[in-house]
Amino acid sequence: MSPPSTLVWFRNDLRLADNPALWEAVERGAPVVPVFIMQEAGEKYGSPGGAGRWWLHYSLHSLDADLRRAGSRLIVRTGDPLSVLRQVAEECHAEAVFWNRRYEPAAVACDAEVKAEFRARGLTIESFNGSLLYEPWQVLNQEEKPYRVFTPFWKACLALREPGSPLPEPAHIPAPEIWPVSLPIEQLHLEPKIGWAQGLRAAWTPGSEGAGGNLGVFLDEALEGYETGRDRPDRQGTSRLSPYLRFGEISPRQVWRAVREFSKNEARTRLAGSAQAFLRQLGWREFAYYLLFHFPYTPDQPLDGNFAAFPWREDREALTAWQKGRTGYPYIDAGMRELWHTGWMHNRARMGVASFLVKDLLIPWQAGAAWFWDTLVDADLANNTLGWQWTAGCGADAAPYFRVFNPVSQGEKFDPEGRYVRAWVPELANLPGRWIHKPWEAPERELKKAGVELGKDYPYPMVDHAAARLRALELYQNLKKPS
């Protein structure tokens, strides 16, 4: 009989370095069996959307290659996690099961079920924090209730402690004498059957190596100007680490420490402000998970219950035009086309396209969240929910109801030369900068010179923003009035 083993259940922590569950399993000295379970469809948000599935395919291959270099391998199964873990544990004579915690409602319930099952069987069960800097239950206000505003939440986090040093990658992972059967990753059928993923392949390199490469480029080339550069979708001013964090190919603790160490160098003291601004964005990621943990109903329902009565419109034609980047507002269309082509969108553009959907078109924020879930490579339930509820004005730290992003002035401010629009809306590429964000105001001679016929090459605006803004404000104001 093979000696007892330790199962390590991989989920959104697809890395070897700074992986507490893996590290502690190796430290036990027993053979380690790494397991990934692809859950069956049916549970809403239980598995990644289309872009996320593409990413997961390559991330699993990368993880398996990393494990093999350490003398191990990844066992892949499908089905209900509890049933699969029970089966693998019996096959491997496991005496312990380790994993890193997740904070989504369905995952919390699943973890509790797995713990109860295996503790009753007498196995050693341990879960660890491998995804956050701070646990959601560690940070409460003076009334022992969760915060709903970011700034006091983040101050409370920073008052606890500085995030610790990341764990190193295990040099060697002890293997069992006999490996359990594993499905080939290809049998998960994660890659799309259509050519949609071509742009994703050109834009990204999933896996821990890709995460480290992106982090290095960001530190060397973009951190110094991050305070202002992060608002410019026409520039490479952000880290682009979000999908790597979403799949756990790099941990927030690794990112935190790398930025801290890089900016502490005496020759780089000028980076202190930008470093703090970037680390604060990690804080927003923490806040998103914090809110999801404490308010698990928010993926579908507004945190502010008053918004349950908001008179949203159901307009499939308008939603489709928004999804395809055919709204007639170049800045909005550029963001939506960047999303479809690369599986990612600059955060400043995300705020603009979200505001347009919920306030100009009055389409429910849940419809936008569902589209982002399916098309973003970095879509995770916490950040997706926070972002959409913030824009709709119904969440924590939400944008005030009277804040309606102007799709023209946003473009003129954050894409002043029109480079972002020219890159993603090429039919307008030859328009002068003066008209690039409002082609319907361009003189006919300028349109002809640029080879643009509105209504044919590029649509007229689907709504008049000024009128749509007033309509939204009236509805929001009525909602805010006491009944």
- The pTM of the full predicted model, rounded to 2 decimals, is 0.96
Quick one: pLDDT at residue 197? 83
Collapsing DSSP to helix, strand or coil, 335 comes out as helix
Per-residue three-class SS string for 381-441: HHHHHHHHHHHHCCCCCCCCCCCCCCHHHHHHHHCCCCHHHHHHCHHHCCCCCCCCCCHHH
Q: How far apart are CA 404 and CA 390, in angstroms?
A: 12
Quick one: pLDDT at residue 483? 47
- DSSP letter assigned to residue 356: I
Domains in the chain with CATH codes: 5-128 (3.40.50.620), 132-165+207-294 (1.25.40.80), 305-480 (1.10.579.10)
Q: How far apart are CA 377 and CA 366, in angstroms?
A: 18
- CA angle 346-349-351, nearest 5°? 115
- DSSP letter assigned to residue 460: P
Quick one: pLDDT at residue 194? 67
Q: What is the DSSP annotation of 217-252? A: HHHHHTSTTHHHHTT-TTS--S---HHHHHTTSS-H
Q: Of 351, 342, 424, nearest to 375 (Cα)?
A: 342
Task: Retrieve residue 221's tokens.
Answer: 């080339």
Cα distances (Å, whole numbers) of residue 76 to 41, 115, 129, 175, 398: 16, 21, 23, 16, 40
Task: Retrieve residue 167's tokens.
Answer: 């764990």
Task: End-to-end CA distance of the chain: give it in Å, rounded.
Answer: 72
Quick one: pLDDT at residue 43? 53
Residue spans of the chain under pLDDT 50: 42, 483
**By the 8 A CB rule, do 203 and 246 touch?**
no
Q: Of 232, 424, 402, nearest to 332 (Cα)?
A: 424
**Of how many residues is the chain composed?**
483
Whose tokens are 């049933």? That residue is: 83
Q: How far apart are CA 131 and CA 247, in angstroms?
A: 10
Whose tokens are 């080879």? That residue is: 451
Q: How far apart are CA 86 and CA 196, in angstroms?
A: 37
